[in-house]
A and B are shown apart, each in its own frame.
Chain A
Amino acid sequence: MTEPQDPHGPGDWQRLDPRMLLVHPVQETVRLLPVLLGLLVAGTASGARGWQLLGLVIPVVVGLLRYWTTSYRVGGGRVELRRGLLERHVLSTPVDRVRTVDLTASPVHRLLGLVTVRVGTGTASTDGDERLDLDGLPAADARRLREDLLRAARAARPDDPDEPSGPHDPDNPDDPGRGPVPAAPPVLTFDPTWARFAPLTSTGLVIVAGLVGGTVQLLDALGGFRRVDAGSWAERVAGVPVLLAGAGALVGLAVATSVLAVTGYLVANWGFTLGHADRAWHLRRGLLTTRETSLDDARLAGVTLGEPLGLRLAGGGRLAAIVTGLGDGQESSSVLVPPAPRAVVGSAARAVLGAAGPVDVPLRPHGPAATRRRWTRALLPALLVTAACLPLATGSAWWWLPAVAAPLVAAALAADRARGLGHALVDGYVVSRYGSLYRRRHVLAVGAVIGWNIRATWFQRRAGLVTLVATTAGGRQAVAVLDVPEADALALAARASPALVEPFLYDRPATGRSAQWPTSTPSSRT
């Protein structure tokens, strides 16, 4: 039913699955819940009956309208979606622009056997109205549609390498019970013990910050602060030393953060599997809302191994894909491995890249000049902090803390940042690593490099260093090789893209500073 009847002409406009008639009203009710509660309270207070019912009718009607006004069609080389009652939207995208096809299913969807199909194109738009979401197709149809779209997208691209990659079985579309499963044997399956890494990422902190902020706002709104009697609190706390109370609060906060982070991690990543089938990587995860992502092999430009400091110290890491045409804003579509042990991340990266070198090979360090630069850049601001704090230290001893801590932290940071620098060109991938608080090892296929930027400030030129940037059409749009000696940078660029870079190279004369080129404004170009 969801298949294009005629691959050459546009199909008929179709409605989504009628079961969405059940989903939309529920979703709208949940979305309008604060308003409904307000109505309920107001209605009860004013004594008027019946108004509360109206509050329920609105979301139901909105939900029903959403179903009746939404339709889609696939065919004629396009995917089109039409929706909206007052403001009509018609979204249309050529099939060959389809980069990813995501399937998500909220608990309500899963109960009814439905799936939302999100067709990802390379658009930079973040507007929710401009997303091509087919919200509500039967699970089997959705999966068939995904395969059709990905296959059509591949067929429409002339530059696609034809050989099937990876020693994986062709798909066998059997899906047992509730959940869709990648057809091929998964490369990676979830292990609940990975959740131990969750508190070490920033997600937990964000959750707690949000909760604390929300609670404070709520208390404030209810006038809670005025009712809290500061005097009685001071008396109760007086028995306990301030430091102990502070430590207790910190431990409590840490525990709360950890629990929340672990819970969030398990909810988001439960049942995580990564597999390869039909020339695409398929990823599936989620405890309540399941999410399936497919990344086309031809669009997979590389990977980024991320090691935030906390994860790194605990021996963990995470893996993201650099997908051509998928920008930084669509990060959730490019996750390959959530925080997990380094060995797991490494083996997944090797499998995805089809080569072990980029993950394992020791990187070429950037030498003493780069190290010196890391130290000066870290220490100078820290020493300024110290200089600013010292005069204040005569007034209060507390100022000694930042005055001493700043240079120490800066020194540790500088040493670690210097150690992290490195690059390599191996198995057809450009590899670059940098950073300390968030260390990343970028691996980018040479074929995905669409240009080179070589940048140097006056200070860098004096130190003989440059920052080499390989631009690409995915992820963060560029992979930087930070503070690399100029000769190394050019050697790397020239070996990676000889046809592009070599015409612009010259052999440095042993004595001269730079070669002379005709400098007049040209009347003719070569």
Chain B
Amino acid sequence: MTDAPTTSPLLREPRHRVSPRARLMWQVTALVEGAVTIVVLLLVGLAVDAVDVRWWMVVAAVAAVLGWVAVVPQWRYAVHRWEVTETAVHTQTGWWAREQRIAPLSRIQTVDRAEGAVARLFGLATVTVTTASAAGALEIDGLDRRQAVALVAELTARADAVEGDAT
């Protein structure tokens, strides 16, 4: 976003952040994934003679994973937001590439609440709102579970109130 002195309207961010526990979940997930990747690479490197594994390679890989764990989940938590108004769902996701999605409640096709194994450990859930367009699904990752249940109920009720097949 540039600071050009203009008064043209801008899109505001959605009001609500996701649960702070999501940050922790993303950190743990990234750490585990990174550790597994390093171990697998290390084993392959040791098994294959052609690759000469040096200690600094391992250090670099560990540093990269730690850097990722320190920065990306934090960044993602700062970006991830959501909001449901009387007429629309509004989400913001991503970190490097940031994406805001707006869909009217009247065009909602399905509302889906998913709890992965890891998400359950943290009491979190993902709510996915789909529209009739394959390019238009809105996903809210890292919601508090009770909040997710209430949100799904609310969205379903509102989508039911609309006639037609929402295409």
Q: Name A residues whose Cβ lies closer than 8 Å to a Cβ of B.
A: 96-97, 122, 157-159, 324-325, 327, 450-458, 461, 464, 469, 471-473, 476-478, 486-487, 490-491, 494, 497, 499-501, 503-508, 510, 513-515, 517-522, 525-526
Find out whether the CB atom of A504 lies under 8 angstroms from the CB atom of B90: yes
Is there a chain A Cβ closer than 8 Å to B50's Cβ?
no
5 shortest interchain CB distances as A-B pairs: A471-B136, A478-B135, A451-B103, A473-B132, A471-B133
CB within 8 A of B12: which of A96, A517, A522?
Answer: A517
Contacts of A471 in B (CB 8 A): 103, 131, 133, 135-136
Q: Quick one: closest A residue to B166, CB to CB?
A: A450
Report the bound CA distance from A504 to B87 in whole Å: 11
Q: Quick one: closest B residue to A324, CB to CB?
A: B167
Q: A453-B101, A454-B11 are in contact. Are A478 and B164 (CB under 8 A)?
A: no
CB within 8 A of A506: which of B9, B133, B134, B147?
Answer: B9
Chain B 102-129 per-residue mask, 1 if CB under 8 angstroms from chain A, else 0:
1110010000000000000000000000
Contacts of B102 in A (CB 8 A): 451-453, 500-501, 504
Q: A450-B133, A477-B136, A478-B135 are in contact. Are A525 and B99 (CB under 8 A)?
A: no
Report the bound CA distance from A451 to B134 in whole Å: 11
Q: Quick one: closest B residue to A453, CB to CB?
A: B101
Q: Quote the shortest CB–CB distance from A355 to chain B (angstroms).
A: 22
Contacts of A478 in B (CB 8 A): 133, 135-136
Q: Quick one: closest A residue to B15, CB to CB?
A: A517
Report the bound CA distance from A472 to B99 in whole Å: 17
Report the bound CA distance from A520 to B99 in whole Å: 21
What are 17 sample pairs from A and B whose C-beta atoms fall under 8 A apart?
A450-B104, A450-B133, A455-B100, A457-B96, A473-B131, A473-B133, A473-B167, A477-B135, A478-B135, A486-B10, A487-B9, A491-B9, A494-B9, A506-B10, A519-B17, A522-B16, A525-B154
Q: Quick one: closest A residue to B138, CB to CB?
A: A451
Find out whether the CB atom of B167 lies under 8 angstroms from the CB atom of A325: yes
Is there a chain A Cβ closer than 8 Å to B39's Cβ?
no
Contacts A451-B103, A497-B104, A507-B7 given; 8 further ones with Cβ under 8 A?
Answer: A325-B132, A451-B136, A471-B133, A476-B135, A477-B135, A478-B136, A500-B87, A508-B10
Chain B 124-164 per-residue mask, 1 if CB under 8 angstroms from chain A, else 0:
00000001111110100000100100010010000000011
Find out whether the CB atom of B98 lies under 8 angstroms from the CB atom of A451: no
Instruction: Report which residue of B10, B17, B131 has the largest number of chain A beta carbons within 10 angstroms of its beta carbon.
Output: B10
Contacts of A159 in B (CB 8 A): 163-164
Report the bound CA distance from A487 to B87 in whole Å: 23
Q: Quote the shortest CB–CB distance from A510 to chain B (angstroms).
A: 6
CB within 8 A of B88: which of A96, A473, A500, A514?
Answer: A500
Q: Quick one: closest B residue to A472, CB to CB?
A: B133
CB within 8 A of B103: which of A158, A450, A514?
Answer: A450
Q: Quick one: closest B residue to A522, CB to CB?
A: B16
Find out whether the CB atom of A450 lies under 8 angstroms from the CB atom of B136: yes
CB within 8 A of B85: which of A327, A503, A513?
Answer: A503
Contacts of A500 in B (CB 8 A): 87-88, 102, 104
Find out whether the CB atom of A490 lies under 8 angstroms from the CB atom of B10: yes
Q: Name B residues whose Cβ lies closer than 8 Å to a Cβ of A.
A: 1-20, 83-88, 90, 94, 96-104, 107, 131-136, 138, 144, 147, 151, 154, 163-167
Report the bound CA distance from A470 to B43 in whole Å: 47
Q: Quick one: closest A residue to B129, CB to CB?
A: A451
Find out whether the CB atom of B1 lies under 8 angstroms from the CB atom of A486: yes
Find out whether the CB atom of A450 lies under 8 angstroms from the CB atom of B107: yes
Find out whether the CB atom of A521 lies under 8 angstroms from the CB atom of B164: no
Contacts of B154 in A (CB 8 A): 525
Contacts of B19 in A (CB 8 A): 521
Find out whether the CB atom of A157 lies under 8 angstroms from the CB atom of B164: yes
Report the bound CA distance from A517 to B10 in whole Å: 14
Q: A494-B9, A515-B12 are in contact. Are A453 and B100 (CB under 8 A)?
A: yes
Q: Quote the shortest CB–CB distance from B52 to chain A (angstroms).
A: 25
Contacts of B86 in A (CB 8 A): 526
Q: Quick one: closest B residue to A494, CB to CB?
A: B9
Contacts of A525 in B (CB 8 A): 16, 84, 151, 154
Q: Quick one: closest A residue to B150, CB to CB?
A: A525
Find out whether the CB atom of A521 lies under 8 angstroms from the CB atom of B136: no
Q: Quote the shortest CB–CB distance from B116 to chain A (angstroms).
A: 20
Q: Quote the shortest CB–CB distance from B28 to chain A (angstroms).
A: 19
Contacts of A510 in B (CB 8 A): 5, 7
Report the bound CA distance from A324 to B17 in whole Å: 34
Report the bound CA distance from A506 to B10 in whole Å: 6
